[in-house]
Structure 1
Amino acid sequence: MRSDALVSLSLLPTAEGGFRSSIPVGVFHGVMMFDDKQGYDFRSDIEEPIEPGSTRSLKVAFLSPDEVLPLLCAGASFNVWAGRVVGQGRIIESLRLRQEHRSAASEALTRAVDDN
């Protein structure tokens, strides 16, 4: 699975409105809300169950990465929505921007070598 961002995700405890059970191993489908108006569907490969009330670093891929890319600034906060807020998190790094910068640097190097 392609990864667009590395995030720190904290699930709410069950008593505070979080999930009743852990997120199981497999592909997790969620909605990231950077404000109260717009949600962005994401997917993440879960390698170990994530318990309510715990925090985990995850790589996520967005269904519409070009739409969310401007919001993927390190430190940006978000809520995770599943019919209600079930967690919150912060963007650690935009992997998509890093990949784009790497591609641009590679292209510049190739042009410089070709010019010589």
Structure 2
Amino acid sequence: MTYQQPYAYPYPPRPARLPAHPRATTALVLGIVGVAGFFILVLPVIVSPLAWYYGAMAEREAEREPGRYRRAGEARAGMILGIIGTALLGFAVLLLVVIGTLTVVGATYDAGYGT
């Protein structure tokens, strides 16, 4: 007695994974550089607003074109890191303005000591 091969049903095709938006990775990298760079050297925090912008743009375009890009977590993470870095940048600028103002006021007005 010979056994016949069972009829093989073809597996349904797996949906191709859509690529992430090209600016999603850029937003993530800029966000990491901005936030981590703030604690090492204050200057890299300047790129944080760009991370926020690129992340928001990638998120909007992925939402607008769901068949072309997948909604990548990189875009959202880059956007959040950009927001945090921009807040740190705003705090640093505010701190510099306050220190500068206090320095100018202290140098301009003499309290009368030493006369």
Bucket of the pairwise TM-score, normalised by the shorter protein: 0.3 to 0.5
Q: TM-score, normalised by structure 1?
A: 0.35
Greater relative CO (CA pairs within 8 A, separation 6+): 1
State which structure, 1 or 2, has the greater radius of gyration over its C-alpha atoms.
2
Looking at secondary structure, tell me which structure has more helix per residue: 2
Q: TM-score, normalised by structure 2?
A: 0.36
Looking at secondary structure, tell me which structure has more strand per residue: 1
